[in-house]
Amino acid sequence: MSRRDFEELVKDLSKQIRDFVKLIFNEASKRLSNGESLNKVVEETLKEFDFENKIKSIYKTAIPQVAESLGATFKNQSLVGSYFERSWLDDKLNLTDRISNATKETKVAIKKVIRDGVKKRKSTRTLTNELLDIVEKKDNIRINKKLSEISKLTRDDKNTQRKIKAFRREISKFGEKGDLTTSRTKRAYERVLKAVESGNQERIATAIDNAYNTKLKYRAEMIVRTEMNHAYTQMFNEKQLRDDDVVGYKWNTTSNHHVDQCDFFEFQNVGLGSGIYKKGQAPNGGPPVHPNCMCYLTPVYVGEVSDKALKKDYDIESGEKWLKRQSKEDQEAMMGVGNRERWRKGQLDFKEAIKDYSEPGNIKKIGSETKKKIIFK
């Protein structure tokens, strides 16, 4: 059992959730064709499929498997519930809250997708405005405004091509940081643009369907990844704390990872070597650092770092030396463009500039009662 098994588990969970959402979607569409009202059909179908509880039970089954991927087993299922009550992101939501938010979003999205399926013959403008409703407004206000302008254009307008070209240039910069949300949203925008250009109603409808699906899929995957990775780090820590041969943890990003703030945690050297922290400790209390973070820790053994180095305090300021050696693009990926500029001008300390920065600190331990319920081999 290994980290790889864990990643397979996460993939499998995402698929289970996606398939379940699709099942509900198909059932609701079928009933709608019998002439029942949209609201009633969606509400009833979600209730009938026991949506929220089913999603919860998918997670509950997964938590013991996370332990297993680390070579641990649960004595009984009662520990599993405690994972649902923990919050770890700044929004202070726990897994239960997140699942109920996802349920609400799913309801809205299912209704919208069906509605679009029913009314295929809509004007470009209406369809594009509907797309605006699903993208994350707070992230994309500027882009949304532009898209709204584009939606007012008609194919016959001689300025249309020029304006679409300008907009396309703008969105090509969008999602460059490799952020999953923005690059997926970008693809959805591109599909709508193509549709506007061709004036093909069928294609617009399909483009909008895709946009909804992208969002649904993205949400489900994001919750699975981050919440499961959180459980993984805690159980990893629990296991290593019992092993006297382990003296530290190494921070790792995944192989398909694009540069972000986690690279800083992986490469800064606070005195023990690149990305190495004392046992039981890591920046941000360990991964995940941000939604979709799939970073993970691995053990560092006796002899791999000197006892002398382990006794010293962390050399926090040395992180800046590494940071200064990185390319402009990578610095921007770790800090954001504005923060990087302010850091360069000396207006911001590097610790304030890096997104989600935190000094190495103790990883939150599993409660003593629940701890007794896991057997670490």
Q: What is the binding site for Zn ion (CB under 5 A)?
A: 262, 289, 293, 295
Q: How far is the CB of 90 from Zn ion (least distance, A)?
A: 15
Q: Report the number of secondary-structure helices (H) and strands (E) in the chain.
A: 16, 7
Q: Residue 375 corresponds to which tokens in the numbers above? A: 């057997």
- CB-based contacts of 97, cutoff 8 Å, min separation 6: 87
Q: How far is the CB of 80 from Zn ion (least distance, A)?
A: 25
Residue with tokens 């693009």: 329
Q: How far is the CB of 230 from Zn ion (least distance, A)?
A: 12
Q: How far is the CB of 288 from Zn ion (least distance, A)?
A: 6
CB closer to Zn ion, 117 vs 175: 175
CB closer to Zn ion, 128 vs 182: 182
Instruction: Kindly list the distances between the CA atom of residue 141 and the CA atoms of 1, 49, 133, 251, 350, in Å, as whole numbers in the listed order.
Output: 45, 36, 11, 35, 28
Quick check: 116 and 203 in contact, CB under 8 A?
no
Count other Cβ atoms within 10 Å, centred on residue 225: 21
CB closer to Zn ion, 290 vs 342: 290
Report d(CA 142, CA 215) in Å as an integer.
19
Report d(CA 101, CA 346) in Å as an integer.
40
Q: How far is the CB of 295 from Zn ion (least distance, A)?
A: 3
Q: Residue 131 corresponds to which tokens in the numbers above? A: 């797309």
Report d(CA 213, CA 105) in Å as an integer.
12
Report d(CA 202, CA 121) in Å as an integer.
8
In 3D, which of 279, 269, 208 has the Cα closest to residue 249?
A: 279
Q: How far is the CB of 8 from Zn ion (least distance, A)?
A: 19
CB closer to Zn ion, 271 vs 275: 275
Q: How far is the CB of 87 from Zn ion (least distance, A)?
A: 18
CB closer to Zn ion, 80 vs 297: 297
CB closer to Zn ion, 196 vs 259: 259
